[in-house]
Amino acid sequence: MRFAKVWQRLLGVERTVVERVTVEDDAGLLVVHARPRKGARQRCGRCGRRAPWYDRGEGRRRWRSLDAGPVRVVLEADAARVNCPEHGPTVTRVPWARHDAGHTYAFDDQVAWLAVHTSKTAVSELMRIAWRTVGAICARVAADAEKTVDRMANLRRVGIDELSYKRGHRYITCVVDHDTGRLVWAAPGRDKNTVNAFFDALGPERSAQITHVSTDGADWIIKVVDARCPNAVRGADPYHVVAWATEALDQVRRDVWNTTRGGKGRATEASRALKNARWALWKDPDDLTEAQQAKLDWIERTHPRLHRAWALKEACAGCFNCPDRGSRGWPSARCTGGCPGRGAAASPPLSSWPGEYASTATPSRSASSINCPTPSSNQ
């Protein structure tokens, strides 16, 4: 194999002629002098069309490539300009790097892959680049991918929620595809205008194809979804459903705690025991310590109303841990409901609970009607 061919393989470049390789000991650099092949020369760096020569530009230029072990590698080539009919005087395109970038395709792709799997700081340390450069490279790679992939194609079941950053003072609204589990859209803000911007980008035809939308119950999401997707089934995502059930459980705990004080406004031995039972009620039953399990057993004997609220919370969480869930997370056709809850301490079926438990049941729903949510049900 020829010398130039070896370097083309090592650098991961195509349509490139490697002229020579030099070493700069002072800077610790391996410099690969290259030029585009004849068919790739004299093209506009923006649109790629052939254009007449304009001038030599700023002379020779360097692009950072992947390191050869501990040695940094750069490609060096002429950076002449052409007079593009559309963009005017523009630096010529090179086959190994994006326009207006100081790194090769291979380097950019490596940084983008690492940014997905680790922190920005770790990427900057490993690749020996600035922290802000990592963000610029990710933006370039994402922009190229956006041109070849339509992430909003075939959307049927989506989830809309916001996440906070900068210590909770700023928000980004995100839309995910439940069928693929991928992020399809994101923008700064958490208001109606932000959600409307997503549906504007989606278009009325594809908005009408959405069948299910999961949200956290925020009015600024629900009102826009009802207006832009009137035929979609709107539901709550599992995280918020279990969070609401946990909040309701804690409200019951506080009510029972106030009752044990007898309205005297001072703590009793029973009220102190209930106040310290918070973690036993909140934690996953599989993660309970011996003391917390004993506390839960004590609540079952002494405060059946509170224990029933805990059992309802666990049954709610168990619906989302259904063993018959399909590959996309929805309960499959085999699911018949009545999921037992989480862990070894799962609650018994509602129909087997004592009458004193049933006295606090919601009268509008019978025990047999509590089933796992299905894609066709409005959760």
Q: What is the pLDDT of residues 3-24, one digit of tens each?
A: 777 888 888 888 888 888 899 8
For the beta carbon of residue 324, count every other beta carbon within 10 angstroms: 14
Q: What is the bridge-based pairing of β-strands 71-78 and 29-36?
A: parallel
| CB-based contacts of 216, cutoff 8 Å, min separation 6 | 161, 236, 237, 240
Number of H helices, E strands in the chain: 13, 12
Q: Say what percent of the chain tops pLDDT 70.
A: 83
Average pLDDT, the chain: 81
Q: For 40-88, what is each residue's pLDDT tens digit?
A: 888 998 898 899 989 988 889 999 999 988 899 999 999 999 999 999 9
CA distance 67 to 132: 20
| Residue 331: per-residue pLDDT | 44
Tell me 265's DSSP state.
S
Q: Do the beta carbons of residue 296 and residue 345 sit within 8 Å?
A: yes
- Nearest CA to 4 out of 23, 14, 15, 17 is that of 17
**What's the pLDDT at 187?**
94
pLDDT by residue (tens digit) across 239-262?
Answer: 888 888 899 998 998 888 888 877
Query: In which band, very low, low, confident or very high, does the pLDDT at 111 lie, cut at 50, 70 and 90?
Result: very high
* Spatial separation of the C-alpha atoms in residues 24 and 336, rounded to whole Å: 71
What would the mean pLDDT of 13-37 be, rounded to a whole number?
88
* pLDDT score of 345: 39
pLDDT for 138: 94
pLDDT band at residue 173 using 50, 70 and 90 as cut-offs: very high
Q: What is the pLDDT of residue 265?
A: 62
Comparing 231 with 124, the larger pLDDT belongs to: 124
pLDDT tens digits, one per residue of 260-278: 877 666 777 777 778 778 8
- Sorting pLDDT into bands at 50, 70 and 90, what band is 231? confident
* Residue 308, pLDDT score: 92
CA distance 272 to 255: 13
Residue 263's pLDDT is what? Answer: 60
3-state secondary structure of 19: strand
Distance from C-alpha of 58 to C-alpha of 108, rounded to nearest angstrom: 23
Least confident range of 105-109, 142-146, 372-376: 372-376
Q: Please state, for a pLDDT cut of 90, what percent of the chain lies above it.
A: 43
pLDDT for residue 201: 93
Report pLDDT for 107: 95
- Read off the pLDDT of each residue in 194-213 and give the average, rounded to a whole number: 94
Q: Give the mean model confidence (pLDDT) for residues 347-364.
A: 34
| 367 has pLDDT over 70 | no
Q: What is the pTM of this model?
A: 0.61
Side-by-side strand order, sheet with 170-177: 182-188, 170-177, 157-165, 212-215, 233-236
Residue 180: phi, psi to the nearest 5?
-110, -15
- Per the CB < 8 A criterion, the answer to whether 11 and 96 are in contact is yes
| C-alpha 12: how far from chain center | 31
What domains are defined for the chain? Answer: 3-147 (no CATH), 157-236 (3.30.420.10), 239-369 (no CATH)
Q: Is the pLDDT of residue 182 over 60?
A: yes
pLDDT of residue 89: 93
